[in-house]
Structure 1
């Protein structure tokens, strides 16, 4: 069945903190080859409100039902922006998924620390991932060259964004899928499983680092394709 026959041909990809949309290139190439219309959000990472607004602008440009995908911090963004009328389903890629009224920071409470994921916060409140621990903490399965490019092209995030609560979690109303990297050194596995299970997500596991949105683009694309084929049947 083609995407047109199924009715969902639009996909919007939302990157996380410390990254930009270029890491989605493999997913973009894979999905456009299958006939999808793929758009990539460039988050300013200045606040949750700003990132949601950036995502909403892209959603407003879609010409029909859309699968909204978020990696890492992008999960918090799609949890809010996913309430947009165009969104038919959500895909969380080793991503945060707060509940209504919760903020990002709360997701870490009660779970194991991730000592290789080190954020250096400047006096202005913006954080970069530490240069020396970047590869092991964020992109251990990437090549040295790719990990270095990700490290050196970081976009810092305003750390105050992690304290902003979600108003209404879109996963309460939209069918949801999740891809979880089993070798993720940025988020505790129990935390990722807790959030995805609470959201009622259909979970796919893949051996990968936190950078699975780039290093496992084939698996991520397959899950997005599954979401596009099945979102209407799973509307809550």
Structure 2
């Protein structure tokens, strides 16, 4: 083999190593659950689930939106664990955006029957997620991050144009006013577990996401062998496409969704 061919082969091997990761084990169907715990992500609060919660309640599920402190992974995990401790049976754990980190870490709780990731991070145990995401194009929202005293907020332009793209403008402005300040340090936090290896997992890809690259979302969904739906919306699809997100959560809870047109795939 010539030196050029050797170098080409080595380069191809390196690229394969970057984008290939061990898939989750084959997953069984989720048990029927009556509870849902919802974890919001960075630059948000529990109200970001306000469009989804009534749909879950109408289907007979007990929904709890955790007020994620966004001060550290340990603090966020503790808040999620407190919410899970109050549930009285099988529970679907749902995370949006950075909240998926908490889902991966805390989802090993025996009460958790299934995991749902909504345009979310889904790190493996002790994975450098910053390095992983760096292998995909950076979302334009990054340019609008403002840091003060170790905490971050999004500028109004970045929030409305990139973070909440596709959300009705009046609603987007309300969400901007409600955004939670987020510790800059949480983005580098590493989990000690990856519950998606052993729990039935579901993933909603936001096809117009300008915060997390949609191809990264697809990579994560495929890696965890998740039941996946692609939704033609921006990062806040639980606001702009609440019915489709709710249907995915209902499926994870083992609830039949009559007439659902949401296309699922493994």
Determine if the TM-score, normalized by the shorter chain, exceeds 0.5.
yes
Say whether the 8 Å CA contact 1:98–1:107 is kept in structure 2: no
Is 2:238 aligned against 1:213?
Answer: yes
Are the aligned partners of 1:103 and 1:166 in contact in 2 as well (CA < 8 Å)? no
Greater C-alpha Rg = 2
Q: Which residue of 2 aligns with 1:233?
A: none
Deviation at 1:118, TM superposition (A): 3.0
Residues 54, 103 of structure 1: alpha-carbon distance in 2 compared, 3 angstrom cutoff: farther
- 8 Å CA contact 2:200–2:226 kept in 1: the answer is yes
Q: Indicate the residue corresponding to 2:167 in structure 1.
A: 142
| Aligned residue number for residue 234 of structure 1 | none
Match for residue 95 of structure 1? 120
Q: 2:199 aligns with which of 170, 174, 179?
A: 174
Matched, 1:76 2:101: yes
Contact map agreement 1:117 1:138 (CA 8 A) in 2: no
Equivalent position SS for 1:18:
coil
Contact in 1 for aligned 2:146/2:155 (Cα 8 Å): no
Among candidates 38, 50, 61, match of residue 25 of structure 1: 50
RMSD: 1.4
Indicate yes or no: 2:185 matched with 1:160: yes
Q: Distance between the aligned counterparts of 1:187 and 1:89, measured in 2?
A: 23
CA displacement, residues 188-217 of structure 1 (integer Å, 9 cap, x when unaligned): 111111111111111101111101111111
Poorly superposed stretches of 4+, deviation over 6 Å: none
Q: Does the aligned pair in 1 maintain the 2:210–2:235 contact within 8 Å?
A: yes
Structure 1 CA distance for aligned equivalents of residues 131 and 243 of structure 2: 31
Question: In the aligned structure 2, how far is the partner of 1:32 from the partner of 1:56?
Answer: 22
Unaligned residue ranges in structure 1 (runs of 5+): 1-5, 231-236
The answer on 1:53 being equivalent to 2:78 is yes
Task: After superposition, give the CA deviation of every residue in 1:134-173 in whole Å (9 maximum; x if it has no partner).
Answer: 1121111111111111112111110111112111100011
1:34 matched to 2:59? The reply is yes
Superposition deviation, residue 117 in structure 1: 3.9
- Provide the TM-score with structure 1 as the length reference: 0.91
Q: Which residue of 2 aligns with 1:224?
A: 249
- Per the normalisation by structure 2, the TM-score is 0.81
1:12 aligned to which of 37, 46, 68: 37
Answer whether contact 1:48 1:161 (CA < 8 A) is retained.
yes
